[in-house]
């Protein structure tokens, strides 16, 4: 199997688009889930079911599990990227923040990740990446403008989303720095088990209730398959191929994708700003992953990555 070399990363367009789509789908489905049950119940149900499914898949396919210190690293990634992120997102949506607005704030991940990667990983913020990040910020601003005018102010509930984006960015950076072995599915299984801890603490500290059991069950089932299993595994696989800062540029188009899906699923029609954000965000992603003509095999890709992984693990 061949992978396409892209400047600064190795990721196929199909992997990039599928990762963005399944992440975007999680926002309207998550909003419907927390309307039917409180976030703690949704998160614990989702994480437990996802961990069982992923562990069964990894065992049945005999995938490589991260061992020793790498299993601990996978757990830390899960606490940040899964636990902290989704506690923040779901609580914000429970408090009335729209799924599109949540997606817009989470889309600040490219800016935060690029800044963290520059300091933590010693990555160089070249002109192309800097330009793509600037376009991503512009896309977020364009899509955010209409929503901000509708709401009239930035609600305190938005702080939960700020916590979420720091969790996501921190988890991506930590993964790239320390988690260098193990199949993404197996690593994700360990991470989701670890994410049960912050979700459980949050559940114990907040009041829990179920107002619509059938809707809650269906929405959690979709979240388990589409978000916890598919989206998270694709995201980890993309980071393993491309690096956290580069892959995070996909978040430039996720808000507008989430807006379109929210329109289709929840009847929330995207405004002009969201449409403009979709166009600019797409331009940011294409700029950040400019294709190069050469192709390489997975063995060559692994060989080219070894010196960096050795220095990162030291």
What 8-state DSSP symbol labels residue 11? -
**Six token digits for residue 88:** 């923040």
pLDDT at 263: 87
To 10 degrees, the CA torsion angle through 266, 270, 275, 281? -50
Where do we find the tokens 């003509």? 293
pLDDT at 244: 67
Asked if residue 6 has pLDDT above 50, the reply is: no
Q: What is the pLDDT of residues 241-298, one digit of tens each?
A: 777 666 766 777 787 788 889 989 998 777 777 778 777 877 776 675 554 333 433 3
pLDDT at 144: 65
Q: What is the pLDDT of residues 72-101, one digit of tens each?
A: 999 999 999 999 999 999 999 998 888 887
Number of domains in the chain: 1
Q: Which of 301, 223, 284 is nearest to 45 (CA)?
A: 223
Q: What is the pLDDT of residues 146-204, one digit of tens each?
A: 656 666 666 677 789 889 989 988 898 888 888 888 888 899 999 999 999 999 999 99
Other C-beta atoms lying within 10 Å of the C-beta of residue 76: 18
Tell me which residue range forms the domain holding 302: 3-313
Q: In which band, very low, low, confident or very high, does the pLDDT at 123 lie, cut at 50, 70 and 90?
A: low
How many residues are listed for the chain in this entry?
314
């Amino acid at each position: 199997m061949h992978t396409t070399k892209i400047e600064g990363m190795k990721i196929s367009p199909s992997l990039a688009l599928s990762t963005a789509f399944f992440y975007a789908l999680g926002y309207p489905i998550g909003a419907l889930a927390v309307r039917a049950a409180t976030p703690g119940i949704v998160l614990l149900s989702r994480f437990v079911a996802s961990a069982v499914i992923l562990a069964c898949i990894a065992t049945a396919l005999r995938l490589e599990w991260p061992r020793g210190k790498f299993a601990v690293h996978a757990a830390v990634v899960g606490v940040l990227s899964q636990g902290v992120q989704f506690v923040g997102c779901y609580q914000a949506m429970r408090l009335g923040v729209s799924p599109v607005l949540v997606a817009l704030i989470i889309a600040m991940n490219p800016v935060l990740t690029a800044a963290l990667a520059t300091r933590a990983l010693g990555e160089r913020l070249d002109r192309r990446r800097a330009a793509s990040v600037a376009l991503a910020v512009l896309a977020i601003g364009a899509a955010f403008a209409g929503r901000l005018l509708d709401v009239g102010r930035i609600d305190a509930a938005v702080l939960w989303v700020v916590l979420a984006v720091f969790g996501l960015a921190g988890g991506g950076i930590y993964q790239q720095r320390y988690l260098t072995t193990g199949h993404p599915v197996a690593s994700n299984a360990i991470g989701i088990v670890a994410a049960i801890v912050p979700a459980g603490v949050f559940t114990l500290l907040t009041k829990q209730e179920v107002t619509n059991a059938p809707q809650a069950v269906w929405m959690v089932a979709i979240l388990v398959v589409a978000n916890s299993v598919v989206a998270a595994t694709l995201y980890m696989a993309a980071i393993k191929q491309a690096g956290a800062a580069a892959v995070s540029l996909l978040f430039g188009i996720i808000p507008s994708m989430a807006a379109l899906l929210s329109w289709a699923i929840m009847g929330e029609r995207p405004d002009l700003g969201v449409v403009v954000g979709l166009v600019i965000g797409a331009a940011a992603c294409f700029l950040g992953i400019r294709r190069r003509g050469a192709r390489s095999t997975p063995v060559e890709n692994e060989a080219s990555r070894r010196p960096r992984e050795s220095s990162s693990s030291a």
